[in-house]
Amino acid sequence: MWSFLRKIMWFVVLVFLQVLIFNQIHLFGVATPFVYVYFVLCLHKEIGKNWLLLLAFAMGIILDLLVYTPGLNAAATVFMAFVRPVFLHLQTPRDLEGDFSPTSRTMGWGNFFRYALCCVFVHHALLVCLEYFSFDNPLLLLIRILSCTFLTMIFVCVCDLIERR
């Protein structure tokens, strides 16, 4: 029961932080952290695929409604949730079995960081490509994807440290 309530709290807190604070950050005009992806990253491993996609869609569409983006966050978040089981399977230690919440505590820092980095990169690649909807300047596109990924990973690690305590 407490785990469920904590997940709801993270959902609400991350949505409000993203809308009120993180969407206002544009480091060097290219990097914006998308900290809300932490919610999808830390859902239990054995969650059903339908629930995973539904929760990712809910997170994305709520953000889209609050920041007036036409489905960009929902599409990127659902795609990240769709490929998440593959990255999670690749980075889960062999001795870790059963249902667990993917965090640095359960997976170890290295495995969690690689898992989160893959998911965040896929999310940002799709989000930025949908946002620009053009490949006229591929260098700027790549810089934006990498800088957003780097900045988001900093905040994902901070969120993981906060949840650890």
Q: Taking residues 107-124, report their average pLDDT.
A: 94
pLDDT of residue 35: 94
Structure tokens at 33: 């952290």
Going by C-alpha positions, the residue among 131, 120, 125 that lies closest to residue 36 is 120
Reported as a single tens digit per residue, the pLDDT across 25-75 is 888 888 899 999 999 999 888 888 999 999 999 999 999 999 988 899 999
For the cut 90, the answer to whether the pLDDT of residue 152 exceeds it is: yes
pTM comes to: 0.91
Three-state SS letters, the chain: CHHHHHHHHHHHHHHHHHHHCHHHCCECCCECCCCCHHHHHCCCCCCCHHHHHHHHHHHHHHHHHHHCCCCHHHHHHHHHHHHHHHHHHHHCCCCCCCCCCCCHHHHCHHHHHHHHHHHHHHHHHHHHHHHHCCCCCHHHHHHHHHHHHHHHHHHHHHHHHHHHC
Q: Phi first, then psi: what are they for 31, rounded to 5°? A: -105, 120
What is the radius of gyration, based on Cα positions, of the chain? 15
pLDDT tens digits, residue range 61-70? Answer: 999 999 988 8
Q: What proportion of the chain, given as a percentage, has pLDDT over 90?
A: 62
What integer best gives the mean pLDDT of the chain? 90
